[in-house]
Chains A and B, each alone.
Chain A
Amino acid sequence: MNNTFSFSRFGRVLKRDLVENRKRYIGVFFVMFVAFLVYQFYEIKEIAELGQIFVRKNGELHIYEKADYLSRFVNSCLPFFYGVLSLALFCAAADMSGVPLRSKTIATNYLMMPASNVEKFLSRALINTVVVIIMTYIALLCADLVRMLSLSLLKAEMTWGLTAPRALVAWMEPLKEIYIDGASGYEVVNNEIVYPYWKKDLAIMAVSFVVILTLWAHSLFVLGGCFWRKKAMLKIFFVGLALILTFAWLVCELEPTCWQWFNENVAFWFETKFETDRDFNRFIFSIGIPLFLGFIALNWWLSFRLFSRKQMIARAPFWKQLLNKGRS
């Protein structure tokens, strides 16, 4: 018998995982759906309460009607907010890694399932990435549909078409220079539009870092899900918050000395270099992306080590679990 990986056995593990935990996945889907729905109606309420909007442009005051503002909001802002919310939900849902091990009785069933640790972990990984992405987008689509239908039925003034597909298109085109056009990042030289190279670099870097930071945050939630059997999402969130607050406190404490020096020297030098030296940008880019890819790989590797050393009850602290000589 193949004890490492078999596609047919992997398929069976995945099927069993999906069927046996279907109620939990439906629950997660429902939470996502409600989050999107609440957000949409909150935005509608905010816009509905607005009157005329005054915008100063080239020293002149322009009046935007509510409909215009709404159109701008729906076409440019909403896909962005949907993106942020989707990424947050995508990350948070990754804490489901430890679902089949959350109690002694459930863990017994799962650990005794005749499949290798690689197959079981890959099945969880697939659910935490591909399935969760699909779930997130369907939740968004459903919330969008409910909003559109309910407002159409009520013949409300604030009805607009489906935003989810538009958002999907907007997310798919980040590397086209829409950011540069939209952000007036061009300069006119001899009646020709010229894009300063650093603006373009910045756009590419920003998008790449958003993607990579999301994947990194996601991998942290996967790691947390493998470590904590219960309420993993809350624990990861609070640990993250505690780390950020500790860092912020340290920064405040250091400000009179190190932080000020850093701001005046390093940060300024970095900023100047960034705007003038294209090779430097590329260097930062070529270091930063592999570095974060390494962090992501490390989190997944640690997750696998924790996952494959799980016992029916939690018996050892984090470091001992990692050093445990159990085989994969």
Chain B
Amino acid sequence: MLKINDLAFSYSGNGCKVFNDFSLEFEKGAVYGLLGKNGTGKSTLLYLITGLLHPQQGTVLFKDEEVRRRLPSTLSDMYIVPEEFELPSMTMKQYVKLNAPFYPNFSEEQLTQNLALFDFDENIHLGNLSMGQKKKAYMCFALAANTSLLVMDEPTNGLDIPSKSEFRRLIASNMTDEKTIIISTHQVRDIDSLLDHIVIIDQSSVLLNASNADICRRLLFTELPMSEPTDGALYVQPSVSGNSAILPNEYDEESRMNLELLFNGVLAEREKFAQVFNR
């Protein structure tokens, strides 16, 4: 659905390349978590994916069409919720009237349901909302647009604690097999239960690109008491009850993925994790 081939990109005035020879693919019907440390190019990658920035080399193809061309057929099938955005000063109803006709699969019914989840209705005035409220309203519209690709940059930033769980419900209720959602964040705890696929990037390289099922099949996430040895562990992190550890899943045991631990582990022990996933 979305193919990034040999991408090279750097900002002007900054000789350092953000991406060099970078390739990645996204399939439909999954919620992708795009993770990485600050400054690794997560947001830049999202802007390149949506054609808001043009790469110096390489291509980004969405449904076999280059996104930098910004064709109406491409733009009407993708939506981005950036970390910072501006909404015009008007009611949601007016906003929908102006913008919904651009999206052929837009559903008013879905929008009403989405807004209700956050105790909003279509009469809210976008100019009078706080930043967090604006973000919720914007996400409601983005999901109701029913585009094949939805890209979200730090969607939980600025949301209060109840809103974060409502956000997870919102994504889950709007997800279909025809959609792909890419969520870029460094707040992994907010979204870990949502994700089907994890992509961890670090300065041009993809450190991990695997589905949740694949991760749980290859890795065992466990809590070890202080007294227990951790020799065979891929990564160990001290926790309240002892050590949180990631072990190779040699006996096909079931465990719940600890995304934060995985993220820290992949960044700290690149070689070890690469060996496990390249096996």
Measuring CB to CB, which residues of chain A are less than 8 angstroms from any residue of chain B?
Answer: 1-3, 6, 9, 12, 15-16, 19-20, 23, 103-109, 111-117, 119, 309, 311-313, 315-316, 324, 326-327
**B99, A112: Cβ atoms closer than 8 Å:** no
**A327, B11: Cβ atoms closer than 8 Å:** no
**A1, B68: Cβ atoms closer than 8 Å:** no
Contact of B86 among A2, A19, A109 (CB under 8 A): A109
> In chain A, what residue has the closest Cβ to B51?
A111
**A113, B102: Cβ atoms closer than 8 Å:** yes
**A112, B79: Cβ atoms closer than 8 Å:** yes
> In chain B, what residue has the closest Cβ to A311?
B53
Contact of A12 among B11, B52, B101 (CB under 8 A): B101
- The reply to whether the CB of B88 lies closer than 8 angstroms to some CB of chain A is yes
**B102, A12: Cβ atoms closer than 8 Å:** yes
Q: A115–B80 Cα gap in the complex (Å)? A: 15
> What is the interface of chain A mostly: helix, strand, loop, or mixed?
loop
30 contacts between A and B (CB under 8 A): A1-B72, A1-B76, A3-B71, A3-B73, A9-B102, A12-B101, A12-B102, A23-B89, A105-B82, A105-B84, A105-B85, A106-B86, A109-B86, A112-B75, A112-B78, A112-B79, A112-B80, A113-B75, A114-B76, A114-B102, A119-B72, A309-B54, A311-B54, A312-B52, A312-B53, A326-B54, A326-B68, A327-B66, A327-B68, A327-B69
- Closest CB of chain B to A306's CB: distance in Å? 14
Total A-B pairs in contact (CB under 8 Å)? 82
Q: A105–B81 Cα gap in the complex (Å)? A: 11
Q: Which 5 A-B pairs have the closest CB atoms?
A: A114-B76, A114-B75, A312-B52, A1-B73, A327-B69
Give chain A residues whose Cβ lies under 8 Å from the Cβ of B120. none
**B101, A316: Cβ atoms closer than 8 Å:** no
Q: A113–B98 Cα gap in the complex (Å)? A: 11
Give chain A residues whose Cβ lies under 8 Å from the Cβ of B79. 112
**B72, A16: Cβ atoms closer than 8 Å:** no
Give chain B residues whose Cβ lies under 8 Å from the Cβ of A16. 98-99
- Closest CB of chain B to A277's CB: distance in Å? 54
Q: Given A111-B70, A119-B72, 7 more contacts at CB 8 Å?
A: A6-B72, A111-B52, A112-B50, A116-B70, A311-B52, A315-B54, A327-B69
Q: A6–B98 Cα gap in the complex (Å)? A: 17
- Closest CB of chain A to B16's CB: distance in Å? 14
Give chain A residues whose Cβ lies under 8 Å from the Cβ of B71. 3, 116
- The reply to whether the CB of B22 lies closer than 8 angstroms to some CB of chain A is no
Contact of A315 among B12, B73, B85 (CB under 8 A): B12
For the complex, count residues of B whose C-beta is within 8 A of A. Answer: 33
Q: A206–B17 Cα gap in the complex (Å)? A: 56
- Closest CB of chain A to B61's CB: distance in Å? 14
In this complex, which of B70, B76, B101 has the most chain A Cβ atoms within 10 angstroms of its Cβ?
B70
> In chain B, what residue has the closest Cβ to A23?
B89
Give chain A residues whose Cβ lies under 8 Å from the Cβ of B50. 112
**A315, B11: Cβ atoms closer than 8 Å:** yes
- Closest CB of chain B to A121's CB: distance in Å? 12
Give chain B residues whose Cβ lies under 8 Å from the Cβ of A115. 72, 75, 102
- The reply to whether the CB of B118 lies closer than 8 angstroms to some CB of chain A is no
- Closest CB of chain B to A170's CB: distance in Å? 40
Map CB proximity to A onto B87-103 as digits: 1 under 8 Å, 0 otherwise.
Answer: 01110001000110111
Q: A324–B68 Cα gap in the complex (Å)? A: 11
- Closest CB of chain A to B184's CB: distance in Å? 15
Give chain B residues whose Cβ lies under 8 Å from the Cβ of A312. 47, 52-53
**B72, A116: Cβ atoms closer than 8 Å:** yes
Q: A319–B54 Cα gap in the complex (Å)? A: 16
Give chain A residues whose Cβ lies under 8 Å from the Cβ of B75. 112-115
Give chain B residues whose Cβ lies under 8 Å from the Cβ of A109. 85-86
- Closest CB of chain B to A93's CB: distance in Å? 21
Q: A114–B84 Cα gap in the complex (Å)? A: 20
> In chain B, what residue has the closest Cβ to A18?
B98
> In chain B, what residue has the closest Cβ to A21?
B88
Q: A113–B95 Cα gap in the complex (Å)? A: 13
> In chain B, what residue has the closest Cβ to A313?
B53
**B88, A114: Cβ atoms closer than 8 Å:** no
Q: A77–B89 Cα gap in the complex (Å)? A: 43
Q: A17–B69 Cα gap in the complex (Å)? A: 21
Q: A19–B95 Cα gap in the complex (Å)? A: 10
- Closest CB of chain A to B143's CB: distance in Å? 15
- Closest CB of chain A to B65's CB: distance in Å? 9
Q: A81–B47 Cα gap in the complex (Å)? A: 49
**B12, A316: Cβ atoms closer than 8 Å:** yes
- Closest CB of chain A to B129's CB: distance in Å? 15
**A104, B84: Cβ atoms closer than 8 Å:** yes
Q: A115–B98 Cα gap in the complex (Å)? A: 13
Q: A312–B76 Cα gap in the complex (Å)? A: 18
Q: A64–B57 Cα gap in the complex (Å)? A: 75
**B98, A15: Cβ atoms closer than 8 Å:** yes
